[in-house]
Amino acid sequence: MLYKTRGIVFKTIKFSETSVVSKIYTERFGLQSYIVNGIRSPKSKFKASLLQSLSLLDMEVYYRENRNLNRLKEFQFSHIFAVLPFDLLKSSIGLFMIEVLQKSIHEEEKNTSLFYFIYEKIKSLDQNTRIPSNFLIQFLIELSIYLGFFPNGKFSKETPYFDLSEGTFVTSHQNNVALLDSSVTKMLSAQILKTPVVISSVQRKILLDTLLQYYQIHIPNFSRPKSLQILEEVFRN
């Protein structure tokens, strides 16, 4: 059957000389793979740029349950980027976000709240003139809400450590290798509570590394994003 839905392009790969397969997170069906025939042909009515990573689309799709590969009938931009593809920092941040999402989301089930969160985050990345230094830190923290392991509690004199395995702030160190030290715990807590604090580039790197470690513990087969190295180089420059 034919359905209308919005979609967020995660990844597109060549399938044949003229066709591609796109992995798209949809509002109606969750994560789906679509084959698009003829898009690489000079006569195609669709531009290949429509299926670049991060693209936000309005689509008409054929859908059959339990089918690994469905088809796109019609698709167009639902939001046309003004800046994101042309800004090195923004595009690097966006690619990091997409890589994290690809490593985190594997289910095909519909999750409207998660879709809306991702969609609006990408739009804000494009539209905001100034990108906060903690943008990716907040993205990872907020994404953990939808993935089911949002940190529990906050830093205090009684709970000065964060247990990465349990996802909670705890009282004592107990020689647990998964515990953050008190200073990093305090920084993480401030970000979770969205306390307005200025963070240095060193602190940002520590917090990003910490949150990626947290994801590795809670998501099977989650690996460190390769785009992080590129992003760090962009930040340095």
- The residue from 58, 79, 100 where one domain ends is 79
Answer yes or no: do 217 and 102 share one domain: yes
pTM: 0.93
Does residue 125 share a domain with residue 14? no
Same structural domain for residues 112 and 13? Answer: no
* 204 and 148 within one domain: yes
Q: Dump pLDDT digits (tens) for 37-80.
A: 878 777 777 887 899 999 999 999 999 887 889 999 999 999 99
53 shares a domain with 169: no
Check whether residue 103 and residue 179 sit in a common domain: yes
Counted domains in the chain: 2
pLDDT: which is higher, 175 or 217: 217
Q: Are residues 10 and 100 in the same domain?
A: no
If asked whether residues 75 and 39 sit together in one domain, one would say: yes
The parent domain of residue 126 ranges over 84-236
Task: Provide the pLDDT for residue 47.
Answer: 82
- Given 79, 103, 119, the domain boundary residue is 79
Return the pLDDT at 169: 94
d(C-alpha 143, C-alpha 12), whole Å: 23
Evaluate if residue 222 carries a pLDDT over 80: yes
